Amino acid sequence: MSGLILERLYNCSALILERNVTLLSRLNRSEFHHFVEEALNKSSRRDVLRDALSDCIFVNQERPFDLPWWQKLFWSLIFAVILLMATGGNIIVMWIVLAHRRMRTVTNCFLVNLSVADLMMSVLNCIFNFIFLLNSNWPFGVVYCTINNFVAHVTVASSVFTLVVISFDRYMAIMYPLKHHMSRRRTVIILILIWGISSALASPCLLYSTTSSRRYSNGTTRISCYLLWPDGGYLHSKTEYCYNIVFLAVTYLVPMTVMAFCYSCMGRELWGSKSIGELTHYQRESMRSKRKVVKMFICVVVIFAVCWLPYQGFFIFVYHHRHFAESSYVQHVYLGFYWLAMSNSMVNPIIYYWMNNRSRFVIYLLFIVFVIRFYDMNHCNKNFVTNKRNRYFSRKVFVRRMERLAVTKCREVRKSVYPKS
């Protein structure tokens, strides 16, 4: 801390708290910090004095983290891509499972829960949090600050707990196929437990979320949304640091260890073991289907681990290296880690389409129906074919072509979607 800022800190504290500046200047940094906190806690006007002290200290300082327009445009474009793809992709996944009876398996119910969490993260958290990070200002009020922080934590916890349950379900189905049976009632109970435990883990956000404003030079102000713990705010709270450690362990380290164990055992069973005698066609198809499902979820887990590790570890790193939070490039680093974490919501639907034949089968049919209806509406609205007979036959030829394309695509995936015994 420079001498000029330190002098202003002592002068403002003496002015606001009505103390002798000479006595305050004799205190070292830790003693001065303890004195100010104790004086604010004893006062009945704690919030008023804190805001006044902040305004006094930062009145001549320029507003920090104010990005130029071209950098804001760059970040806005890449965040817009993941928001559109995450929102649209997860809605399609939910529609495929909920609107088609054959898709309503236990595993797919957990996939819908994962899509719900990703959709909540994209719509209720990512949009508002990105605006806050981009402009270094929170314009949405203290109520939505609380909702925003709660949604961020509860969706992350719900996603990783859902992945753990899917891993354990697949583990039981492959390692103990005769004992494995997950009923719908048990599935519903597990989903309720997932959201209940996630909400309990995110409950501090409901208790300690708040906003504060600071005034800078030229009359500019900045409103921050953060967690104010009983022993201090961001970077100054030991409680927050312990909470981040617990949250990292519960929602990342322990689940990743459990899932790594489950998928290692499944991989050894599916690829490492050799069966006695020749397998029947049904057994080969069943083995191939199980391998595809396991591959898909291994991809989901690995991508989740890669996307969330930098963001989860950022807060712990900054607590031990506080000077990093004051650097000029920290905003870009945090935006990059946040974009990587949010991109996980976009990647999951792509993986489902790429590695799940049933999802691909339904999407093909949805695409063909959409194209035919769009062509039909466009043909009716625009009279670019004047002859009614030509219009009829041109539409008929187009529909036939689309039907042939649909049949071709469906045949490509039919064998793997519904294998014959």
| pLDDT beyond 80 at 73 | yes
pLDDT at 270: 78
The C-alpha angle 247, 248, 254, rounded to 5 degrees, equals 105
| pLDDT beyond 90 at 253 | yes
pLDDT at 39: 72
Q: Report the mean per-residue pLDDT for the chain.
A: 78
Give the C-alpha distances (Å, rounded to integers) separating 88 from 78, 84, 117.
16, 6, 14
CA–CA separation, 397 and 404 (whole Å) = 11
Q: Are 196 and 157 in contact (CB under 8 A)?
A: no
pLDDT at 237: 84
CA–CA separation, 157 and 240 (whole Å) = 17
Which of 51-60, 94-103, 152-161 is predicted with the least confidence, judged by mean pLDDT? 51-60
pLDDT at 223: 87
3-state SS track over the chain: CCHHHHHHHHHHHHHHHCCCHHHHHCCCHHHHHHHHHHHHHHCCCHHHHHHHHHHHHHCCCCCCCCCCHHHHHHHHHHHHHHHHHHHHHHHHHHHHHHHCHHHCCHHHHHHHHHHHHHHHHHHHHHHHHHHHHHHCCCCCHHHHHHHHHHHHHHHHHHHHHHHHHHHHHHHHHHHCCCCCCCCHHHHHHHHHHHHHHHHHHCHHHHHHEEEEEEECHHHCEEEEEEECECCECCCCCHHHHHHHHHHHHHHHHHHHHHHHHHHHHHHHHHHHCCCCCCCCHHHHHHHHHHHHHHHHHHHHHHHHHHHHHHHHHHHHHHHHCHHHHHCCCHHHHHHHHHHHHHHHHHHHHHHHHHHCHHHHHHHHHHHHHHHHHHHHHHHHHCCCCCCHHHHHHHHHHHHHHHHHHHHHHHHHHHHHHCCCC
Q: What is the pLDDT of residues 401-412, one digit of tens each?
A: 655 665 565 555
Q: In the CATH scheme, what is the homologous superfamily, with its name and number, of domain 69-355?
A: Rhodopsin 7-helix transmembrane proteins (1.20.1070.10)
The interaxial angle of helices 141-175 and 281-320, nearest 10 deg, is 140
Question: What value does the mean pLDDT take over residues 364-377?
Answer: 55
| pLDDT beyond 50 at 101 | yes
Q: Are 116 and 159 in contact (CB under 8 A)?
A: no
Please name the residues in contact with 231: beta carbons below 8 A apart, sequence gap of 6 or more: 237, 238, 239
| pLDDT beyond 60 at 396 | no
pLDDT at 277: 55
CA–CA separation, 310 and 339 (whole Å) = 11
Q: Are 55 and 215 in contact (CB under 8 A)?
A: yes
What does the domain layout of the chain look like in residue ranges?
3-58, 69-355, 365-417
Of residues 360 and 246, more confidently modeled: 246
| Single-letter amino acid, residue 376 | D
Question: What value does the mean pLDDT take over residues 238-250?
Answer: 92
| pLDDT beyond 90 at 158 | yes
CA–CA separation, 237 and 37 (whole Å) = 13
Q: What is the pLDDT of residues 107-132, one digit of tens each?
A: 888 889 999 999 999 999 999 999 99
Q: Are 211 and 138 in contact (CB under 8 A)?
A: yes
Spatial CA neighbour of 172 closest among 163, 164, 181: 181
| pLDDT beyond 50 at 387 | no
pLDDT at 121: 93
Provide the percentage of residues in the chain whose pLDDT is more than 90.
29
Banded pLDDT at 230 (limits 50, 70, 90):
confident
pLDDT at 347: 83
Question: What value does the mean pLDDT take over residues 329-342?
Answer: 91
pLDDT at 145: 94
Q: Is the pTM of this model over 0.85?
A: no
Tokens at 138, concatenated: 């929170």
pLDDT at 151: 95
Banded pLDDT at 384 (limits 50, 70, 90):
very low
| pLDDT beyond 50 at 69 | yes
CA–CA separation, 334 and 313 (whole Å) = 11
CA–CA separation, 344 and 350 (whole Å) = 10
pLDDT at 77: 95
Which of 103-117, 198-212, 277-291 is predicted with the least confidence, judged by mean pLDDT? 277-291
CA–CA separation, 28 and 24 (whole Å) = 9
Banded pLDDT at 336 (limits 50, 70, 90):
very high
Banded pLDDT at 46 (limits 50, 70, 90):
low
Banded pLDDT at 298 (limits 50, 70, 90):
confident
CA–CA separation, 70 and 66 (whole Å) = 12
| pLDDT beyond 50 at 269 | yes
Which of 12-16, 159-163, 193-197, 394-398 is predicted with the least confidence, judged by mean pLDDT? 394-398
| pLDDT beyond 90 at 370 | no
